[in-house]
Structure 1
């Protein structure tokens, strides 16, 4: 909601005078030329005024920023006398602390012929005040006083009755004394001759606590500051013209806590300066903006008024007296729109009307937002739970909502926030795990790790003479040696890759294993234990990476589970239930630990089985790839044999019993089987072990699936009571939310009706 200090606020753009409009120069405000006599003569404005008054009366102002006039001043500055003139209420005027509590005055015009009426009630404060330490007192809640004419004597009687019997005022100093109250006296006036007006009077600021407790003095200052600080409040700062304005405490507070766009200054007791030309000139300079002093920045608009003295009764014509005073020098230098109480009331009515009209759409939107939030917080608390059945029902409803979101996290994650999409997060983790296994799963690097053997065989066949290859249906070559077929002219034989660093360590490891076993067997044989031994060494990283992956997935699932719990049962004490949230969080932690341990045990068994089982496979890819690699070895060997090589060189290059050829054979068998088995291992980890953890199909269900209705029904009565029992804070919070929701529902109805009623009006 926009505040009065905003550039778009009506309070930041006071109406321009005719001379300013015509000349474009900075002219002084001419209120009577630009403001109607009564801004609330417009039906739409009256409807909104009534709506705002009802909103304040129903307590909505404690939750929503509602524009209002607030009058503040120091002790004995003439504030009460000014209020009598503005509101026609006989406020007590005298020395000492007369105002003991804030007073809201609301004036409304009724239809012609209707009687004058007044209604006095006591309502709760709309600001929290520090400094007052009073015991709770609800004696004010049912107070109502009504009548037709509020006389000075009757109002004084009401003030005394309210102070002593309903607000607990006990004047004096001491621990058993109470000089002020935080509640607000609401005085509503109505009649056919009244105008629309509303103002809040705050007790006057005082410096020396001669007759009150010192803490109460600070409490009053705190109350004034809290009303000043509210950005929706238009502050009328009353200063005594007789006293140096720059030294008055209320002016200093206003300079600290009120932006000048929403502050209107009023200089009272101007009639007491008739014989003081120097002070009169200074006050005139302040009102006209010509005085360079410390009070100038607090506001752009100053009014001068004459007070009604205690000797001047209701028959005294104050307007005429003010006119006589302010039409004389030097007062006549002040713009006529800023002279006198009637002009001040007219200006304040305009600002109040504009503030209400400009901010009403935001007021309604804010009410709806607060109502939705309060209803959400109230729903999180549930109904009162005095019995086991009530507590079980409350817990089951929360867990059912949790189950719904958990199912969405796995089956339709797109409907949830990103951090709750467990299925998506686990999928990404599985892809990263598969990539890690492919790149770093082996202990030693294989030769030609990125080569496709089938494609390489096809490429190499094209480089050799056709009669080196025999298709099905062709006769076998004769057994007698044939003349070596040279390569066609211009064709380069396949180059044998140099034995670089890629695969070097693995070849050396294979060679060591072959030599380790050669003492137990005949030359030319490969011991059957060589490949299983190398396979275990080559796959020893698998379990480590899979173990890390399980932890990663478990943590992702736990984060999603915690997020869902926060969604259905927030930890925030305002919108949720911290006790139940923490209890269920401990349960999720228990599910996390048990399911994680069960999953790791499953992984341990599977990894042991993979590393210790016989190396067997029925996968046709094994035979296909192995044959391709062996063919590549053969073709490379053929390409390395020159036509003039002797038999020994050919034997060393081609015969399988030679150590290098045995290393090649073991390497290729190990490589092909490794590639097939790592695919199977990765798939089993991601599709079986991890999926069991995520979907909760293990005996020890994970956090996403473990927190379920079955779990709720497995709890004993003591466990349900421990999780869902209510402390005094929860009970008080439920009551406060019920009250807030009731107030906001009433406020929403008021705002909606006013909006509908004014929708077709200008």
Structure 2
């Protein structure tokens, strides 16, 4: 096949993927997911598991990634490929997206300011530490994938000055409520710096067969038993998953100011060394991950969209019948009073 034909086919596939994913996002932004389950990818993990770093590596959006701090609400990250770089930030309440707090060209500083402004609107006046409202971030650019992810607050057990045992239960209930939805794909983020069996996300998600992420592989001692365990885990020898495991090497604690381009250069150099070079390229790094997730979401939406549209039609029909019945009752009441 000529190169031009291949390029045209890829473009058509890309446009088709965007239209399909945009349809689900449109339904979600109009509150449809408040009444029925939509096909989505959710990202969940324990606090300090590297969840924010994973999202930043995928999107280039500067997420807050301070250890020990938990984002107090779900974040819907909408990424789309187009020539011009743009971003919008919304606050979604009761399933309906409100006006963007800020919007404009996609620069790190501008996005950070917009996110912080939106977060202020999500702070609860009743003193609760966590909200069921959603922060929605839309970022477009020439290097973005066609992908939508829902990032959930990190699971934790121990209470602190800012997070109580009641808060821990609230977060757990929120995360599990998403996990149990029938049209959800779970991306479980596991930190190699922590004991696998003690991480809450592994306990909660294993029965639901998630797609697994392993972060912080560079924190492991070379050739240690723990490193061997996580390499075997990556090969699904320890905990088999139908969607498999993927390993990322993100910024470390002392690399928070490292640019995304530098981060992307350091990652393949790390994976070129033993024992990680025993894994396939499709299991390693952010570039293969973006393509993989876009493909998984596209196929997932295609699988479920017929049933979603059927449920919407059924709900509209029920609403129409209910409204007609209500109209007849009101007319009857007026006739009786007359």
TM-score by length of 1: 0.40
Deviations 1:47-94 (A, max 9, x none): 212212211111112233321110001000110011100111100111
Aligned to 1:304: 247
Aligned to 1:239: 190
**Residue 266 of structure 2 corresponds to residue 321 of structure 1:** yes
Aligned to 1:190: 140
Q: Do 2:145 and 2:290's aligned partners in 1 also have CA atoms closer than 8 Å?
A: no
Counterpart of 1:382 in 2: which secondary structure?
helix
Q: How many Å apart are 1:346 and its aligned residue?
A: 1.6
Distance in structure 1 (CA, Å) of the matches to 2:191 and 2:124: 28
Q: How many Å apart are 1:300 and its aligned residue?
A: 5.0
Cα separation, partners in 2 of 1:125 and 1:84, compared to 1, 3 Å: farther
Deviations 1:197-251 (A, max 9, x none): 1101001001112122332221110110011011111100001111111221111
Q: Do 1:267 and 1:304's aligned partners in 2 also have CA atoms closer than 8 Å?
A: yes
Aligned to 2:114: 158
Q: How many Å apart are 1:147 and its aligned residue?
A: 1.4
Aligned to 2:4: none
Aligned to 2:5: none
Distance in structure 2 (CA, Å) of the matches to 1:90 and 1:248: 25
**Residue 58 of structure 2 corresponds to residue 120 of structure 1:** no
Aligned to 1:225: 176
Distance in structure 1 (CA, Å) of the matches to 2:260 and 2:92: 33
Cα separation, partners in 2 of 1:201 and 1:355, compared to 1, 3 Å: same
Distance in structure 2 (CA, Å) of the matches to 1:193 and 1:307: 19
Aligned to 1:272: 219
Distance in structure 2 (CA, Å) of the matches to 1:218 and 1:125: 21
Q: Do 2:59 and 2:144's aligned partners in 1 also have CA atoms closer than 8 Å?
A: no
Cα separation, partners in 2 of 1:315 and 1:49, compared to 1, 3 Å: closer
Q: Which structure 2 residue ranges, 5 or more long, are not aligned? A: 1-9
- Matching of residues 677-692 of structure 1 within 5 Å: none
Q: Which has the higher contact order (CA 8 A, sep 6+)?
A: 2
Q: How many Å apart are 1:121 and its aligned residue?
A: 0.6
By percentage of residues, which structure has more helix? 1
Distance in structure 2 (CA, Å) of the matches to 1:285 and 1:192: 36
Point out 4+ residue stretches in structure 1 off by more than 4 angstroms.
297-300
Counterpart of 1:144 in 2: which secondary structure?
coil
Counterpart of 2:296 in 1: which secondary structure?
helix
Distance in structure 2 (CA, Å) of the matches to 1:381 and 1:374: 10
Cα separation, partners in 2 of 1:246 and 1:300, compared to 1, 3 Å: farther
- Matching of residues 430-579 of structure 1 within 5 Å: none
Distance in structure 1 (CA, Å) of the matches to 2:176 and 2:213: 18
Counterpart of 1:206 in 2: which secondary structure?
coil
Q: How many Å apart are 1:193 and its aligned residue?
A: 3.6
Alignment length (residue pairs): 327
Q: Do 1:237 and 1:265's aligned partners in 2 also have CA atoms closer than 8 Å?
A: yes
Deviations 1:150-201 (A, max 9, x none): 41x444433433333x22347xxxxx52222111111111233432111010
**Residue 112 of structure 2 corresponds to residue 167 of structure 1:** no
Q: Which structure 1 residue ranges, 5 or more long, are not aligned? A: 1-37, 127-137, 171-175, 384-389, 397-711, 721-762
2:308 pairs, out of 360, 363, 366, with 363
Cα separation, partners in 2 of 1:190 and 1:143, compared to 1, 3 Å: closer
TM-score by length of 2: 0.88
Q: Whose Rg is larger?
A: 1
Counterpart of 2:102 in 1: which secondary structure?
strand
By percentage of residues, which structure has more strand? 2
**Residue 104 of structure 2 corresponds to residue 147 of structure 1:** yes
Distance in structure 2 (CA, Å) of the matches to 1:345 and 1:315: 15
Q: How many Å apart are 1:96 and its aligned residue?
A: 2.2
2:292 pairs, out of 328, 334, 347, with 347
Distance in structure 2 (CA, Å) of the matches to 1:267 and 1:355: 22
Distance in structure 2 (CA, Å) of the matches to 1:47 and 1:325: 37
Aligned to 2:42: 70
Cα separation, partners in 2 of 1:40 and 1:207, compared to 1, 3 Å: farther
Distance in structure 1 (CA, Å) of the matches to 2:251 and 2:128: 30
Q: Do 2:47 and 2:156's aligned partners in 1 also have CA atoms closer than 8 Å?
A: yes
**RMSD between superposed Cα atoms in Å:** 2.6
